[in-house]
Amino acid sequence: MVKVENFDFPDDRWYNKDHSWALPEDEGKKIRVGLDSYGQDLAGKILFIRARREGSSVKQDSSFASIETGKWVGPLKSPVAGKIIEVNTPLRRKPSVINDDPYGEGWIVVIEPSNWESDKANLLQGEPWVEVVTKEMAEKNK
């Protein structure tokens, strides 16, 4: 686990510039996707989420869900391309779980990736991710 300021970034996940995370499961045959701790903090208290339906195809860096907060309404960008095979339906009743537990119960969808090896080349993990997020935080705090 890497900590940057007050935000955690688990080492087993891959991150995109839009603060979505990807956790490979079943040897990369499934990718669990959510919003990282810094992304949910930037968004504010999540009041509503609508994920695309199971069976929907998504492209890397395209919308897989949209959220509404007190500050912002907009899309969440998928870290991987593929087919949504599971949606975390309890989030419909209590979307703030993403704020409370972004890496656990706050996951959003599971995607069957089209090409995980190719997609992860566009994601960051570990020290390279820490450098990006540290720079982003410094820019925000100017």
Q: How many domains does the chain have?
A: 1
Residue 5 included in any domain: no
Residue 132 included in any domain: no
Q: Is there a contact between 13 and 125 (Cβ–Cβ < 8 Å)?
A: yes
User: From the first residue on, what is the mean pLDDT of each consecutive set of 10 residues in the chain (142 residues)?
Assistant: 90 96 96 97 95 98 96 93 98 96 98 97 94 93 77
Residue 48 included in any domain: yes
CATH of the domain at 47: 2.40.50.100
Distance of CA 114 to the CA centre of its chain: 18
Residue 103 included in any domain: yes
Q: Is there a contact between 120 and 43 (Cβ–Cβ < 8 Å)?
A: no
Residue 83 included in any domain: yes
Q: What is the per-residue pLDDT for 72?
A: 83
Alpha helices in the chain (DSSP H): 37-43, 90-93, 97-100, 116-120, 126-140
Which residue range forms the structural domain that includes residue 38? 15-123
Q: Is there a contact between 65 and 51 (Cβ–Cβ < 8 Å)?
A: yes
Q: What are phi and psi of 52, to 5 degrees?
A: -65, 155
